[in-house]
A = this chain, B = another copy of it.
Amino acid sequence: MATYLEQLETPVPVVDLDRLAHNLDRMAAYATLHGLRLRPHVKTHKSPRIAAEQLRLGAVGLTCATLREAEVMAEVCDDLFVAYPPVGAARLERLARLPAEVQVTVAADDVHALDALAVAAKLGRRTIDVMVEADLGMHRVGVTSPEKAVAIARHVERSSSLRFAGLQFYPGHIRSHVKDQDAALVQLGRDIAVYTEALTDAGLPPRIVSGGSTPAAWRMHEVPGVNEVRPGTYVYNDRTTAQIGACDWEDCALTVLATVVSISVKGQAVIDAGTKALGREPLRAEGDGYGALLDHPEVVVSRLSEEHGILDLSQTSWRPRLGDQVRVIPNHVCIVVHLFDEIFGVRGHAVETRWPVAARGRASNLELETAPNRPRAV
């Protein structure tokens, strides 16, 4: 018996399966066309099912941020880049315990992190690849000079359990709505050249130079030296991605299905998707609110409580009734996925499938055994 949207209990994230397929195809084609290695970041979907599809379409491996993500993705992939500083005893222990057949790469920006990493690699009877992380404008993590990059690469190469793989950066500061994106990309190319030259002069040429992130991914082929991209958001896209022009409104694949639960206060309607369903993420572009309706983009979620979202009806003649369902395109989809345990896949109004957000949370390997996140047919 078919299941329809109207039967789902809200709030719940639903994914348009055709849009998802289109988004996966488009990025894979872009990477193939320009000869870029595609190593998608799984933080957006946290699902081995979608990761397997990315790999089938040509991805060389996967990018993870947390060890939970890496453990879950090890089920479908044997080439994992943990793009996070390998710092902290518990994190190192989990890293070392990843299945032996998985090639593990990590990002490092401090020589002081390397000795413990080398010990962990040895205890795990494995060689860990190290990418030197450089700060090329984001000012978050990463070495701030080519000299420091060379020092880390040398330190890596001195360890028998570590291997230098290349250079990575996160161009999160380069977004389509930044007016001088052209100039920023040119500067990025120059910076990469300086780092690459320093490493090459030291006898340690980077095999991989890895950049990406969805907003900048589509232009990474214009940056000399870059040979890998790591976009995450592109699988679902969101209101911010659309607003900055990195996708069309019709490419937004994930919406939060919600129910109108109160129309008592004038000029607004209240839905059951609040901060605990949408996240309190700003629109990183022109505009305000925490999301907009798929079918009425002029209606934004203007205020949030934990379990209430306020729809501003001042810009629309549409008037919802109590109990109506609406679909909200969130500002930042990665945060929405992290708030739920399960996602439903739909075509039109028909619910075709459901899958767990298997890599959500922080549970250790030990706890994975009892996780309720098993695929299931609707």
A370 beta carbon closer than 8 Å to chain B? yes
Contact A341 B323, beta carbon cutoff 8 Å: no
Q: Given A265-B135, A279-B280, A280-B279, are A372 and B363 also a contact pair (CB < 8 Å)?
A: yes
Chain B residues with CB below 8 A from A279, complex form: 275, 279-280
Contact A338 B276, beta carbon cutoff 8 Å: yes
Who on chain B is nearest to A321 by CB? B112
Chain B residues with CB below 8 A from A148, complex form: 264
CA distance A374 to B229 in the complex (A): 40
A225 beta carbon closer than 8 Å to chain B? no
Chain B residues with CB below 8 A from A259, complex form: 87-88, 91
Chain B residues with CB below 8 A from A272, complex form: 84, 87-88
Among A148, A264, A279, A280, find the residue whose CB has the most chain B CB atoms closer than 10 A.
Answer: A264
Chain B residues with CB below 8 A from A362, complex form: 9, 11-12, 340-341
Contact B372 A305, beta carbon cutoff 8 Å: no
Q: Given A112-B322, A323-B87, A372-B367, are A140 and B308 also a contact pair (CB < 8 Å)?
A: yes
Chain B residues with CB below 8 A from A89, complex form: 6-7
Q: Mark A178-221, 1 if CB is under 8 A from B, else 0.
A: 00000000000000000000000000000000000000000000
Question: A176: shortest Cβ distance to chain B, in Å?
Answer: 19
Who on chain B is nearest to A94 by CB? B9
- Residue total for A at the interface (Cβ-Cβ under 8 A): 71
Among A172, A370, A372, find the residue whose CB has the most chain B CB atoms closer than 10 A.
Answer: A372
CA distance A8 to B8 in the complex (A): 38
Contact B263 A110, beta carbon cutoff 8 Å: yes
Within A106-130, the residues touching B (CB, 8 Å) are: 109-110, 112-113
CA distance A66 to B89 in the complex (A): 37
Contact A87 B261, beta carbon cutoff 8 Å: yes
A43 beta carbon closer than 8 Å to chain B? yes
Contact B140 A305, beta carbon cutoff 8 Å: yes
Contact A306 B264, beta carbon cutoff 8 Å: no
Chain B residues with CB below 8 A from A9, complex form: 67, 88, 90-91, 94, 362, 364
Chain B residues with CB below 8 A from A224, complex form: none
Contact B307 A84, beta carbon cutoff 8 Å: yes
Across the interface, A265 reaches (CB within 8 A) one of B67, B141, B322, B371, namely B141
Contact A140 B8, beta carbon cutoff 8 Å: no
Among A8, A310, A362, find the residue whose CB has the most chain B CB atoms closer than 10 A.
Answer: A362
CB<8 Å pairs between A and B, sample of 26? A9-B88, A9-B362, A9-B364, A43-B307, A65-B306, A84-B272, A84-B307, A85-B270, A88-B261, A91-B259, A110-B262, A110-B263, A113-B323, A135-B265, A139-B265, A141-B261, A141-B264, A142-B262, A142-B264, A144-B264, A275-B335, A279-B279, A280-B280, A280-B282, A306-B338, A340-B362
| Given A66-B307, A276-B338, A306-B335: 4 more A-B contacts, CB < 8 Å | A9-B90, A110-B322, A141-B261, A340-B361
